[in-house]
Amino acid sequence: MTNMNNKIFFYKKINKKNIINLLKDKFSLIINKKFNKNYILNNKKDYINFINKLEYNKINYLKNKLLIIIKKYLLIITYKYYKNKKGKNIKLKLKNIINNILILNDKYKNIYYYKLSNYTNYFKINKYYYFLIKFLILNKNNLKLKIILSRKDILFLKNLFKLEIPEISEGIIKIIKIVRIPIPNGLNKIVIYSNNKNINPIGACIGIKSIRINNILNKLDNERIELIEYSDNIYIYIKNIFYNIEIINIKIINNTYIYIIYNKKDMGKLIGKYGYNIKLCKLLLDKYKLIIKCQ
């Protein structure tokens, strides 16, 4: 998984009145604690008179304290903003690529860093890309917020399907399982299902002239997608998983082992490029131990 260290400035226009009210309360607490006197400051003139009487080192101390308070305030409201976006995809603009690290901006000009684990020429400067906000790490003492971004997580791909396919976002079509090899030219298998017999879930996801599935593919790093229709009947489900393989026989023993006998001519399709296909098929049947033999 890829980490992103986020330098956060402002995520939106901050309400100045909130900061002023906050500083009024904190100001009184700081000076009363620091100078061991009970100062009562009612208006702007009182504040100015008080500061004019202070020595330089005390003014500097007060300024630094108030700056820390402002930074903490901004950090907390920024954290709350991103907390609401946890588990969702965010659209970012690529500004530069340095040593395989993407430097990105959101619409509020916050800066993000995303390290690529695999070399790719997919990313282009000044283009927009989606990333999943996986989780947040808030350090109040050091005034830092670390946001973990991901394009490899299963939830990232699931969010893309919800974005492009209304039937999925509305719950008419359900995503049962996703297995991925999320690298350039990798493979994704998505198991989908619908209770509505009038809907062809695979056809709905592909869309007219493959528009919907192509929109998703365009957001991935040259990865491939295979859609598989789920069935409660394990035999039908297995055949759906190995849709392009000639299955001669299927045996299930003790609800634990699945023996599949296939036509030898389909060995290449079964294994797939770099062994991706057979690896993901086994993950789709992770409840069972898969034993495959050719005729």
Q: Where are the domains of the chain?
A: 1-150, 152-230, 245-295
Q: Which of 117-121, 154-158, 238-242 shows the lowest mean pLDDT across its residues?
A: 117-121
Q: What amino acid is encoded at 167 in this protein?
A: E
pLDDT at 143: 80
pLDDT at 20: 64
CATH of 152-230, one of 3.40.50.720, 3.30.1380.10, 3.30.1600.10, 3.30.300.20: 3.30.300.20
pLDDT at 49: 66
Looking at the DSSP bridge assignments, the partners of residue 132 are 89, 150
Q: Same CATH topology for 152-230 and 245-295?
A: yes
Q: Helix (H, G, I), strand (E, B), or coil: what is residue 257?
A: strand
| Pairing of β 144-150 and β 128-139 | antiparallel
* Token pair in block for residue 136: 């947040």
Quote the mean pLDDT of the chain.
84
CA 22 to chain centre: 34
Query: What tens digit of pLDDT does each residue of 81-129 get?
Result: 888 899 999 999 999 999 889 999 988 778 899 998 877 789 999 999 9
Q: How confident is the model at residue 221 (pLDDT cuts 50, 70, 90)?
A: confident
Q: What percent of the chain has pLDDT over 90?
A: 53
What kind of fold does domain 245-295 have according to CATH? GMP Synthetase; Chain A, domain 3 (3.30.300)
* Token pair in block for residue 153: 């997580």
Residue with tokens 């260290």: 5
pLDDT at 21: 67
* Token pair in block for residue 190: 């998505």
CA 42 to chain centre: 48
Average pLDDT rounded to a whole number, residues 137-157: 89
Per-residue CA distances from 290 to 178, 267, 270 (Å): 18, 16, 13
State phi, psi for 275 to the nearest 5 degrees.
80, 10
Contacts of 233 (CB under 8 A, 6+ apart): none
What is the rounded distance in angstroms from the CA atom of residue 278 to the CA atom of residue 17?
A: 60
* Token pair in block for residue 233: 């009947």
The model's pTM is: 0.81
Q: Residue 243's CB: how many other CB atoms inside 10 A?
A: 11
User: Angle 175-203-160 (CA atoms, 0-180°, nearest 5)?
Assistant: 45
- Which strands sit side by side in the sheet containing 187-193, from one edge to the other? 174-181, 187-193, 224-229
| Pairing of β 101-105 and β 111-115 | antiparallel
Residue 179 parent element (H or E)? strand 174-181
pLDDT at 237: 95
Q: Which sign does the torsion angle of CA 58, 59, 64, 66 carry?
A: positive
User: Angle 236-190-228 (CA atoms, 0-180°, nearest 5)?
Assistant: 25
* Token pair in block for residue 208: 């007219």
**Per-residue pLDDT at 2 exceeds 80:** no
